Amino acid sequence: MQDPAFSEPGRFWRGNLHTHSTRSDGVIPPEEVCRRYKAEGYDFIALTDHFIGHYGYPIVDTAPFRDDGFTTILGAELHSGAMENGELWHILAVGLPPEFAAPDAPGFRPIEGQETGPELARRAREAGAFVAIAHPEWSGLALNDARSLEAAHSVEVYNHGCQVGADRAEGFWHLDRLLEEGRRLTLVATDDAHFHEPDHFGGWTMVKAEENTPEALLAALKAGRMYATTGPEIHAVDWSETHVSVACSAAATVIVQGRGSAAVALQGESMTRAAVPLERFVGSDWMRLTIVDRAGRRAWTNPVWKI
C-alpha cells in the first residue's frame, strides 16, 4: 500500500480550495482575498464564488494576483437541482475553464427543469475540474445524494466556515460510507471563507507537487497527492502489512480508521514518530489516518487501499 502524497516526488504546498469574494456573497474583493491568504503564508488558493445567475455566473480571473511565490487556481462553487431534502446542490469545482457553460441556476433555490447536481458535476469533471462534495454535513446531504455524485474526486471533510457558523464542519460519515461501498475518494479541508465572520485560515489542504503552478497542483489533486489539516503537519507515512509508521509535528494521538468500527488509537506526549499496528484491520480493504495535537487540531491522510 502506498499513499502518493508521501511516496511521489515534490514538496507540499499549502492551499485553500474554497473561498468567496465580493463577486458573490463574500465581503472583500478578489485581490484582497488573495493578498490576505498570501500574507498568512499560503502558497495558493482557489477562489470559488457561487456560480449562479444572481452573481453573473462568476469564474473569477485571479491570474493577475499570482506572483513567483503565490498562485491561484480558477474555480467556482456550482449549484443546480434539488437534493433529497429539497435544497440546492453545492458542488466544489477547482480548475474550471473560464468558458464553462452555466446551468440555468438563477439563485439559491432549485427551479423546475434544472440540470441535476450530478449532471453538473459530471460536466465540470469532463471540463477538467477537480470535483469535491462540498460541506455534506452542513447541507444535510442524504447518503443517496452522496452516492449519486459519481463524478466527485473528493469529499470536503472539514469546512471551517461551517464549523464557525453552524457547528457542522465535517464529511467523514459520508466519506466512510462511500468508501465502504468501494468508492475510491480522497479528502480535503477548506475554509469556505466569506470574511464576514472568523471563517478563514482554519482548514487547508497540503498538496504535493514539484511546482507551485495551477497545472501541477490540479494534477496532484486529481492524483490524490495531498493531505488535509487544521494545523498538524504530516511529514511521512509508510504503510506496511503489519503497521503504519508516521512522522509528524508534535501529536497527542495517532488514529487509524477502517471499515465499520475498525479503529486503533495510540496516545502519547509530543509524539513526532509513531508506529500503529494494523491487526485490527484484517477485514478492512481501506484505511486512513488522523493526527491530533495537544490543542485538538487534526490532520488527515487520504484512504489507502489494500488492492
Please write the tens of the pLDDT for every residue from 81-94: 999 999 999 999 99
Residue 58: which of 82, 87, 22, 86 has the closest Cα? 22
Percent of the chain with pLDDT over 90: 99
Please list the residues that pair with 275 across neighbouring strands. 245
Please write the tens of the pLDDT for every residue from 157-178: 999 999 999 999 999 999 999 9
- State the pLDDT at residue 1: 84
CA atoms within 13 A on the CB side of 99: 1
Distant-in-sequence, close-in-space partners of 183: CB < 8 Å, separation ≥ 6:
none
- State the pLDDT at residue 288: 98
- State the pLDDT at residue 307: 76
Mean pLDDT of 46-71: 98
Distance CA 39, CA 172 (A): 31
Predicted confidence (pLDDT) at residue 247 exceeds the cutoff of 80:
yes
Please write the tens of the pLDDT for every residue from 96-155: 999 999 999 999 999 999 999 999 999 999 999 999 999 999 999 999 999 999 999 999
User: What length does the chain have?
Assistant: 307
Q: Return the SS3 of 179.
A: helix
Q: Which domains does the chain have, with CATH numbers?
A: 4-228 (3.20.20.140), 234-305 (2.60.40)
List b or e across 201-217, with b for residues whose CB sees 16 or more CB atoms inside 10 angstroms: ebbbbbbbbeebebebb
Please write the tens of the pLDDT for every residue from 223-233: 999 999 999 99
Q: In angstroms, what CA-CA distances link 103 with 52, 106, 107, 115?
A: 8, 9, 11, 7
Predicted confidence (pLDDT) at residue 242 exceeds the cutoff of 90:
yes
Fill in the amino acid letter for 81. Answer: G
Fill in the amino acid letter for 250. Answer: A
The model's pTM is 0.97
| Spacing of C-alpha 261 from chain mean position | 24
Cell of 122: 459530471
Mean pLDDT of 23-30: 98
Cell of 176: 466512510
* β-strand pairing of 71-78 with 44-47: parallel
| Spacing of C-alpha 50 from chain mean position | 17
- State the pLDDT at residue 4: 94
Distant-in-sequence, close-in-space partners of 296: CB < 8 Å, separation ≥ 6:
none
Distance CA 292, CA 255 (A): 8
- State the pLDDT at residue 195: 98
